[in-house]
Amino acid sequence: MLINPTKNGNKMKLEKYRVATQNALQTMKAHCESDTFILECRTKAHAKIAAAIRPNGSINWAKLPKLIGQNTKIKKDVAALDTDLEIWGLSLAPHWISGFNTCNGLSLGCAHSCLMFTGMGQKFMVAADGDHKVAIARIIRSILWFTKKEQFKERLLIEIERKAIQLHKNNVAMAFRPNVFSEIRFEKLFPELFDLCGGLEIQCYDYVKDIKRIENNPFPKLYHMTFSLSENNALFIPTALKHGASIAVVTDIPTNKNRDRKYKFTPPATLSIGGITLPTVDGDQHDARYLDRQKQAFVVLRGKGQTIKTDKTNFMQRISAAA
């Protein structure tokens, strides 16, 4: 790690970060073990998994949600591409929601503002049968990763390959996010994933809080990582920059759009955080960070969802006069 623990109080900062991370993990674990909504979804997830397990222990995948889902589609003219691009991803449940921890770089600000419960994941998005399909699906995938890992791996490779072949026939490129809401070290635990994606010309990318993953990424060209800033990890910005990563920053810039669907408020040209000034990239124009022309920048993201508006942890950087 680039940080010199004996210089400028970095040893104290590093220890403070470690304590805050452990406290966040313990706090969110306790929360997930007492939240009625989460526990109900978890119980239903276990029931659906049990119903899909054959007597020989194999999984009947037809009875379970697909592992991958489409995140977004980028038209070729948006990012100067040769073809349209579809971004697909693996959406696990974050931190302790599934009963298994999927976010080792967790902070309280990040957990409380997690996009898990925005969009189609909002808690009121319950189907007619009383099930929250999206939350249950994410929990199912998480449980299977931890309890049926080999079958999970095999199925994930099958789904990715099938989708890539289908898109290729339609002249559409594919990108893949292994961690949409989680932070699993797939580059170490599942290198076969990147072997497959490399062979199929699928670019992988993620937002990453665990700085060691950026330092030790074994697939630097195939697996693009953007360092994700939280309220307590700014001390790792120099390390991320040293390894060529940009820094994603959640801000209070409003999400309002004009009639032409363009954002009404734009990021400043440069931004200073922790004494470091960098050019900015509007991270909401598209999500495929590996396509950003400006490298080693602050990737400015507008805070999404209702919870972020009440953030008191400093997870959200307040930089907008319009907020």
Write out pLDDT tens, residues 290-300: 999 999 999 99
Give the rounded percent of residues in the chain with a pLDDT score beyond 70.
Answer: 91
pLDDT-derived band of residue 7, with 50, 70 and 90 as boundaries?
low
Cβ(283)–Cβ(301) under 8 Å?
yes
User: Tens of pLDDT along 41-90?
Assistant: 999 999 999 999 999 999 999 999 999 999 888 776 666 778 999 999 99
User: Tens of pLDDT along 91-111?
Assistant: 999 999 999 999 988 999 999
Dihedral angle of Cα 96, 98, 104, 105, to the nearest 10 degrees: -70
Task: Please provide the average confidence, as pLDDT, over all residues in the chain.
Answer: 91
Cβ neighbours for 214, distance < 8 A, ≥ 6 positions apart: 208, 225, 227, 239, 240, 243, 245
45-57 burial, b at 16+ Cβ within 10 Å, e below that, comes to: bbebbeebeeeee
Report whether pLDDT(3) > 90: no
Report whether pLDDT(175) > 50: yes
Cβ(187)–Cβ(217) under 8 Å?
yes
Q: So what's the pLDDT on residue 112?
A: 86
Q: So what's the pLDDT on residue 309?
A: 78
pTM attached to this predicted model: 0.91
Cβ(305)–Cβ(115) under 8 Å?
yes
Q: So what's the pLDDT on residue 10?
A: 78
CA-atom Rg of the chain in angstroms: 20
Largest CA distance in the chain: 61
Question: What number is the average pLDDT over the span 149-163?
Answer: 98
Q: So what's the pLDDT on residue 170?
A: 95
Tokens 């490779």 sit on residue? 157
CA distance between the termini of the chain = 36
User: Tens of pLDDT along 233-245?
Assistant: 999 999 999 999 9
Token duo for residue 250: 């959640």
Report whether pLDDT(201) > 80: yes
